[in-house]
Amino acid sequence: MTNYQEEIVSALLKGDSYVTADELATLLHVSKKTVYRAITKINKSVAQPLIESERGLGYSLNYRSYLDTTNQSVKSQFTDFSPVERRNQVMIKVLFNAPFSLKLNTLYQTYHVSDELIRQDISVIGQLLSNHHLQLKQEHGTISVSGDEEEIRRVINDALVQSRAMNQEILSDFASEFADINVYDDQFLTAQLDWIQRSLSTTIPYPYNVNIFSHLFILIKRFRTGKVQESGKIEALGPEETAIIRHNDRMFKVANDVIKNTSDYLGTKLPEIESFYLLQYLISMRYDHDLAFNGEVEQVVLKLADGYIDGFDLQATNSRVLVLRNDLIGHLKPMLNRLKNHIVVVNKLLQDIKVEYGDLFSRVIEISRQLEKRLGEPWQISDDEAGFITLYFAKYFEEAPSTKKALIMCASGVGTSKLLNVKVRKAFPDLQVVAVISLADYERHPEKYADADLIISTVKVKPVNHAQLILSSAMFTKADRKRVEEAIADD
């Protein structure tokens, strides 16, 4: 484990209840994102999750798993592959080799499993492939796959997603997930990524960098170890494809350059359709600027953006909502390209988003289902994509200035309340403090303070209206701050 990971486990071990990502981030002096990443890595490194998350509460240590892990840290390095991992690895190998056949003995020699298990594996793999209209053929102790090239690559991509290789944010980490990616391939692919970024004067962020890298990696491996069947589609681009190319001519030129480089690298002339496939990835990324827009936004993108905004009952006339709408359009436009082209991006923060923003995420899913139905499009917004959308709304709501009104109170109105007032204003600059008063003032004229939502007081008081009482120490400790924070967030 790295230092961060050890510190997280140690913090959870010391805490007797849940610890939030925020608290861990403060403790470690790192961002919340780093905390999420570290926790994912910790859980991935052991047989059963060490750290559990509970919606609305935070993280806690699974003590039993912790004891098991610490007792068996040496043993855990030799954990067997799970059946899913094994099937995935076998399937990826067979798909890369398609349509050539591979010997079952060779495929399974590292797994040490019985013939019966192999038989079951093949049956499951066959079923999975047939869902994608791919045929698995088994004869004389060998297996092979045949079918449409796009489908073959799509299934490889899905299997890589499932193997969590795509959770690696940095290209070199992603490349290291594959035993058979050599240093030359790694360098070549990284150089192509650099070339695309330079040509488009942009930076390709995670997860899009990993997506393009993996697309090109699959492409290289398909041409190197398998045989790519040239279907009719490859010969002639349809009018729709031609229109997309015309509309994105600058990106198509970049895609063409990269495919030409790849042809040279492989020593094989790649078909023209490969440039179009790569173009699909390039137009499916979120860019920092207007590169992908060409100044136009499709009606369906606008309908989606407005659908989400309406779904959250936000007024499109508000200036903050307008900023949110623009951000959403910027995200939804490439998202639609991904959905249309079956490009899967992994949202490695998905689990954490579900924990941290559970209600928002559920609402995004609900709105997404309604919009899919209303727009009658063939695609479906995946949980990963819904997770990205959730983050836009989380940012919007978290940055919203508080509309809550607070009263600060003590017995005399001149003692601890004065101190508390300064501390509260410092900690919650957006909170509207309507008055600093004595308990007697409040009890004498409660009607004057009827609009207060919170009473932060060092003395006990019975609120006369809907106000929530937060009894606080004059020290305004961390626990006091947390209660105020929760009251502000509480709708």
Partner 1 sequence: MTKTVIVVDKPEITDIETFMQVVEEIALRKKLIQAGNNLRVDIKAREAMGNTRVGVDTVMPHVKAEYVIKPTVLIIRVRQPLTWQDQLPARVFIILLVREPDPFLEDFIIRLVNEDFIDELADFNQPPESIRQLVIEGRK
Interface residues with partner 1 (CB under 8 A) are 410-416, 418-419, 422-423, 426, 438-439, 457-460, 471, 473-475
Nearer to partner 1, 212 or 410 (CB): 410
Nearer to partner 1, 389 or 455 (CB): 455
DSSP string, 3-71: HHHHHHHHHHHH-SS-B-HHHHHHHHTS-HHHHHHHHHHHHHHSSS-SEEEETTTEEEE-HHHHHHHHH
The number of angstroms, rounded, from the C-alpha of 87 to the middle of its chain's C-alpha atoms is 25
Nearer to partner 1, 218 or 410 (CB): 410
Nearer to partner 1, 354 or 423 (CB): 423
> CB 458 → partner 1: shortest distance, Å?
5
Nearer to partner 1, 208 or 476 (CB): 476
Could you give the CA distance from residue 123 to residue 119 in angstroms, rounded to a whole number? 6
> CB 209 → partner 1: shortest distance, Å?
46
> CB 80 → partner 1: shortest distance, Å?
54
Residue 404 vs residues 246, 309, 314, 452: alpha-carbon distances, Å: 52, 23, 18, 8
Nearer to partner 1, 234 or 411 (CB): 411
> CB 421 → partner 1: shortest distance, Å?
8
CB contact at 8 A, 309 and 328: yes
Nearer to partner 1, 162 or 438 (CB): 438
Nearer to partner 1, 434 or 474 (CB): 474
> CB 369 → partner 1: shortest distance, Å?
50
Could you give the CA distance from residue 143 to residue 137 in angstroms, rounded to a whole number? 5
Could you give the CA distance from residue 408 to residue 437 in angstroms, rounded to a whole number? 6
Nearer to partner 1, 260 or 425 (CB): 425
Could you give the CA distance from residue 230 to residue 217 in angstroms, rounded to a whole number? 19
In the sheet with 135-139, reading across from the earlier edge strand, the strands are 102-103, 142-146, 135-139
Could you give the CA distance from residue 250 to residue 258 in angstroms, rounded to a whole number? 13
Nearer to partner 1, 191 or 427 (CB): 427
> CB 423 → partner 1: shortest distance, Å?
6
* Residue whose structure tokens are 């240093």: 183
The number of angstroms, rounded, from the C-alpha of 288 to the middle of its chain's C-alpha atoms is 18
Alpha-helical (H) ranges within 283-349 are 299-311, 319-340
The number of angstroms, rounded, from the C-alpha of 425 to the middle of its chain's C-alpha atoms is 35
> CB 439 → partner 1: shortest distance, Å?
7
Reduced DSSP (H G I as helix, E B as strand, rest coil) percent helix, strand, coil of the chain, to 5: 60, 10, 30
Which class for 110: exposed (0-12), middle (13-18), buried (19 or more C-beta within 10 A)? exposed
> CB 300 → partner 1: shortest distance, Å?
54
> CB 443 → partner 1: shortest distance, Å?
12
Grouping H, G, I as helix, E, B as strand and the rest as coil, residue 322 is helix
> CB 455 → partner 1: shortest distance, Å?
12
> CB 473 → partner 1: shortest distance, Å?
6
Nearer to partner 1, 112 or 460 (CB): 460
DSSP string, 177-190: T-TT--HHHHHHHH
Q: Name the strand (E) or helix (H) holding 416.
A: helix 416-427
Nearer to partner 1, 247 or 444 (CB): 444
Going by the DSSP 8-state scheme, the letter that residue 167 receives in this structure is: G
Nearest to 270, CA basis, from 128, 149, 445, 91: 149
> CB 420 → partner 1: shortest distance, Å?
10
Residue 139 vs residues 97, 160, 255, 269, 489: alpha-carbon distances, Å: 16, 27, 40, 32, 63
> CB 484 → partner 1: shortest distance, Å?
16
Could you give the CA distance from residue 68 to residue 66 in angstroms, rounded to a whole number? 5
Nearer to partner 1, 348 or 423 (CB): 423
